[in-house]
Structure 1
Amino acid sequence: MGWESISFATTSWWVRGLTLQSSQAVSNAKRLGWPLTEVGEALYLTRAPGGYPFYLVDKEQPHSDPVQKVCLGVSDLQRSTHYWTTLLGMKVVEKNEEKKTVLLGFADTHCKLELRDNGGTVDHGTAFGRIAFSCPREQLPDLEALMKKENQKILTPLVSLDTPGKTTVEVVILADPDGHEICFVGDEAFRQLSKVDPEGNKLLDKAMAEDKSDEWFAKHNRQKAAA
């Protein structure tokens, strides 16, 4: 199909771990006294303040993407493998019968997706997340048509999203058998929108300083989602 993995934007406990290759990250954690557990050769497990698991590979960061793998919990490994390979075109890189995992990828140089059998249903709780891929814009209608033909869930049909002063990007958002959201976006426009803004840090600091989300949730007597 020609998909190219761009990012894994996820925020949820059903993401079983994010693997990064960076000796600098390991060094920083040790220097700051952040808890690290050695779980393999040159491999450490650490957790974000909210409990989100990160696996750090103690090797020099690659020139491409330091994110090596994202692991998702699934309720039926065979069913999920069929969905991601037969329908979405990922290739099986490795199977581990003992750990009940399957490692998938679109290409050797791209971040990999690992599916791990939970042995039951996947509870998303109050967290949310989305895995994002890019592909040539012309392939999006075919993807949508295939999912309709196979009676698969489409959360957002093919839509064009305008960004003021910038390009228009097209996306299709799907859900796999366990409800993991998957966004496919037109690569050409996405790359334009992904360019580094020289004012990015300043704008982010300003937005964070002006954030009123806690007040909004309190006012509406609603609980703010947490990972």
Structure 2
Amino acid sequence: MSSETSLQESTSDDRRFLHFTMKITDRLATKKFFCNILGMKILRHEEMDSGCSARCNGDFDSPWSKTMAGYGNENSFFALELNYNYDVQGYEYGNDFSSVTIYNRQAVSNARQYLDKKFIEIDNKQSITIHSPDGHRFILIDEDVQPGDDPVRCLSLNVSNLKTSIDYYTRLLKMKINENESNDNHIKLYYGLKTTQQSKVKTKSGFLVDNQCQLELIEVKHSIDRGTGYGRKAFSCPKNDVELIENVIEKEGHDILIPAMELGGFLGFNKEKIVILSDPDGHEICFVGEENYFKGCEADPDAEKKFYKGLENKPDDPNKYLIGEDKSTKQQDKQ
């Protein structure tokens, strides 16, 4: 797959749905949920002294940590980016996020056996719907995927106008529609390839593109309130596409939260080229150039040690703000 094609010529087969960010308030409880119940692993952990220039942790200038959790390396498996802001005690969660769907029989068994009943929403023979410590909904299906496939099958978000959202994601961002799993009330979108065989098609940089996690958009017919605990979805693409995507979105008059920029450069890796968009309902979207991101997204064998070390670094601040994401919560205003 060529990384030199223009956006108009691209079939989008060289893009991958990487991860979704979640703001959390209790790292240890969240870690136990993702690892002990869902069966994921801590892939990477980083501690930051100040807010991210790309607002990965939200609109905060305070110290924060990032923990990546998933069933395998992010070049082949979908991940959840768990962001913890040290100066924020809690968030207002809106109606933007719906659920994450996972096919994993062991996770279903773990939830039924070990999860506190207050976190269980629905339990039937085929599936169980549960909530994380911060209230994020997970639908666990009592089936396993084929060996080597990703158990995370779908991220579901709510939208106010399905027709408008379909136009944005398919015409402008070149996502494809899974006609077999869509109707008038919701639609499932994907990048890459949908196959019934055990193929392993990869981009030039090495990202797996077949049978990726899907993005489901569900129409709720009223305005979307993202609250202060909103997330952000991230996709990889050839780095040459980053500015092309930005140009298309700008030409159509849609919001660009952060114009194309370079981010990172840690541990000797080259900086990653990114652009941050906002869809018609305000859902945030990050596109990152795959060439350099591939080098930095491999699982760190010391990730769990770094996670526990991070718990010791900065004790809970009794003066944390109860609800975050306004001017009063920024570190510069607390000093």
How far off is 1:61 after superposition? 4.2
Match of 1:53 in 2: 137
Residue among 175, 178, 183 paired with 1:96: 183
Give the secondary-structure state (helix, strand or coil) at the position aligned to 2:293: helix
What secondary structure is seen at the aligned counterpart in 2 of 1:44?
strand
User: Partners in 2 of 1:190 and 1:10 — Cα distance?
Assistant: 20
User: 1:44 Cα shift?
Assistant: 1.8
Tell me the equivalent position of 2:167: 82
> Quick check: 1:27 aligned with 2:109?
yes
* Letter of the 2:164 counterpart: R
Contact 1:21 1:59 in 2 (8 A): yes
Counterpart of 1:96 in 2: which secondary structure? coil
- Is 1:218 the counterpart of 2:319? The answer is yes
1:8 aligns with 2:20: yes
Q: Which residue of 291, 294, 298 corresponds with 1:195?
A: 298
Paired position in structure 1 for 2:217 = 115
For residue 205 of structure 1, what is the aligned residue in structure 2?
308
List, as ranges, runs of 4+ consecutive aligned residues in structure 1 with deviation greater than 3 Å. Answer: 10-13, 33-36
After superposition, what is the alpha-carbon deviation per residue over 1:149-181, rounded to whole angstroms, capped at 9, x for unaligned? 111111111111133323211101000000000
- Structure 1 vs Structure 2: percent identity of aligned residues? 33
Partner Cα separation in structure 2 for residue 194 and residue 181 of structure 1? 20
**AA matched with 1:7:** H
| Structure 1 gaps, min length 5 | none
Distance, in Å, in 1 between the alignment partners of 2:281 and 2:228 is 15
Residue 26 of structure 1: CA displacement? 0.5
Which structure features the higher share of strand residues? Answer: 1
Q: Which moved more, 1:153-162 or 1:57-66?
A: 57-66
Normalization by structure 1: what TM-score? Answer: 0.88
Q: 1:155 aligns with which of 232, 241, 257?
A: 257
Alignment: residue pair count: 219
| Contact 1:5-1:110 at 8 Å conserved across structures | yes
| Residue identity opposite 2:253 in structure 1 | N
Cα gap change, 1:162/1:15 in structure 2, threshold over 3 Å: closer, same or farther?
same
- 1:76-130 deviation line (CA, Å, top 9, x unaligned): 1110111011100111113222xx1111111320111111111110011121210
| Range with greater deviation from structure 2 (73-82 or 43-52) | 43-52
Partner of 2:50: none
User: Paired residue for 1:170?
Assistant: 273
1 CA distance for matches of 2:254 and 2:100? 27
Q: Would you say the 8 A contact 1:21–1:66 is kept in 2? A: yes
Distance 1:173 1:122 in 2: 19
- Structure scoring higher RCO (CA < 8 A, sep ≥ 6) equals 2
Secondary structure at 2:149 match in 1: coil
